[in-house]
Structure 1
């Protein structure tokens, strides 16, 4: 009888441990989702003025008037902040995760996830703000081996081509939001996940001379 009771107690303890572990996992996941929802609810950024200016700029400079890309480095890097805007529908059609430059911090880490350093200088390892025109499709050593040349059109990003700043994918960039964690940081290129790049590549194959505008709201 004692042995039976002992075995029952062991099974009860194991079951309790398993349930407790599952409960903790569920609580952790729910907390993570709650944190993302919470931070999103605090972000009430109106990009309307950017959309209007982008539309005017594209028309004036004979750029693509179907789509444009807005990247907001003012948002935490654990959130989606790469937006494909549809001029015809007047709405964001897609959003993706994107990395920024590590600057003085360690490459591949997330030290500046909520406050990226900005620079147009050589060897700064920083992202640069401003309007870019997405040009030729090329071969990358990263991700799905595809990149797109970026031509900086303002004083704040005039060295982009010389600095080899391109749009490419990187295995380290997640597909989904990871807030409050950040996205690994590179040397200044806007890098997206491999799956995201497949979609973006398909878009850019059929839409030439697309405007990419990197801002910090």
Structure 2
């Protein structure tokens, strides 16, 4: 279940993703392209952080936060032309995980994504609370660095490294990107929500390969709420 290559023109119906894209077009120049010589997890020199930019009042808050996180972590994020934004203020039936082309000013694709059981004990479809605590089974907010691909019990998956105090236990908690049967477009249509994870970013089985390819190592994944 996806939305492919969404340019934002005057003939489209105004909705959340259009507003997000329009703001990106206006603000894409805020992030200057830079290339690092080697991955952030190695002990190698890195360029100085990009200077802070003022927030634009016309940007949606989730996008403001994501671009600010990209700016703040500029010396740690290897690839900054594309970022991922998980907007946990939206219901789980919505395609609330967006791959954002920063330079091009558009949302490349959108996907269904799970949140953790601990974030939604009532199984309402909304993430109500967040935690960095091991055993909480909750989602965490903040900035994540995408890591290596590995094959585990959910098949091909991607490790994540939390960059903020509110998610810095992500690697130890095994919070990763993976596919799951409980994330399904038909389930969202029939039951009005998708299933919950143990805190991971879980995607539809038919989409996980695409997510892993587009969101490779060394990129920013920002979880907003």
Do they superpose with TM above 0.5? yes
**Cα gap change, 1:211/1:178 in structure 2, threshold over 3 Å: closer, same or farther?**
same
Preserved contact between residue 175 and residue 195 of structure 1 (Cα < 8 Å): no
> Alignment partner of 2:74: what SS?
helix
Select the residue among 104, 109, 116 that pairs with 1:101.
116
> Alignment partner of 1:133: what SS?
strand
Bigger fraction of residues in helix: 1
Preserved contact between residue 143 and residue 223 of structure 2 (Cα < 8 Å): yes
Select the residue among 65, 68, 71 that pairs with 1:56.
71
For 1:127, the equivalent position in structure 2 comes to: 139
> Are 2:106 and 1:91 aligned?
yes
Shift of 1:179: 8.3
> Alignment partner of 1:154: what SS?
coil
Report the TM-score when normalising by structure 2: 0.67
Equivalent residues in 2 for 1:68-217, closer than 5 Å: 68-103=83-118, 111-142=123-154, 145-175=155-185, 178=189, 181-204=192-215, 207-216=216-225
What are the Cα deviations for residues 122-178 of structure 1, in whole angstroms up to 9, with x where unaligned? Answer: 111100101000001001212xx1111100011100111111111101011014653
Preserved contact between residue 84 and residue 220 of structure 2 (Cα < 8 Å): yes
Q: Distance in 1 between matches of 2:106 and 2:100?
A: 6
Unaligned 5+ runs, structure 1: 1-39
Report the TM-score when normalising by structure 1: 0.69
CA-based RMSD of the aligned residues comes to 2.5
**Cα gap change, 1:77/1:94 in structure 2, threshold over 3 Å: closer, same or farther?**
same
Count of aligned positions: 169
Larger radius of gyration, structure 1 or 2? 1
**Cα gap change, 1:214/1:85 in structure 2, threshold over 3 Å: closer, same or farther?**
same
Q: Distance in 2 between matches of 1:50 and 1:104?
A: 20
